Each structure stands twice: as C-alpha cells, then as structure tokens.
Copies of this chain bind each other. A is one copy, B any other.
C-alpha cells in the first residue's frame, strides 16, 4: 500500500495504466504511444509489476501487459478508506 502512491506519482506510469485500462498491449506498442525510450519504459513497467498493478504474459518474443484489476480495485477501496471515513470512531 505504501509504495502504491510512489508508483502512481509518475505521469508516465499513470498513462500506461490508463492505456491498459482500455486494452492489453505489448511493451513495444506502449512505447510507440509514449515519448520515452524502450529502456525507460521497461523500467516503468518493472515498477508497475513490482506494485502488482499489471500482469505479464509472454507469447514468443513479445510480452503482453494487462491491468491487474483485482489489485486496482483493492487499491481504490484502500484509498477511499484512507481519506473518507468520517464515520470511523477509532
């Protein structure tokens, strides 16, 4: 949970998540849509994977990235809990 926010602090990583929200993509396809180089993108994908926000599946030489919807849903639930529990009396 703590590094989730650090992960989301990068606009490149948020852009990647927004794209994966629409459809699964390979690293190369993502790179074509962004302005960063492939090595830079690879680093961002590693961070997203470490945060368990994306899932990978290799097919031959290409690797497809997709959103880990389960974890994303949990993240949203935690976020709401972090900031909006006026009722909670401890």
Contact = CB atoms under 8 A, between A and B. Distances in A.
Number of copies: 2
B84 A73 contact: yes
Contact of A79 (B76, B85, B86): B76
Interface string A16-50: 01100110000000000000000000000000000
A73 B83 CA distance: 8
A14 B82 contact: yes
A61 to B, nearest CB: 27
A8 interface: yes
A79 to B, nearest CB: 6
A18 B86 contact: no
Contact of A83 (B5, B6, B76, B85): B76
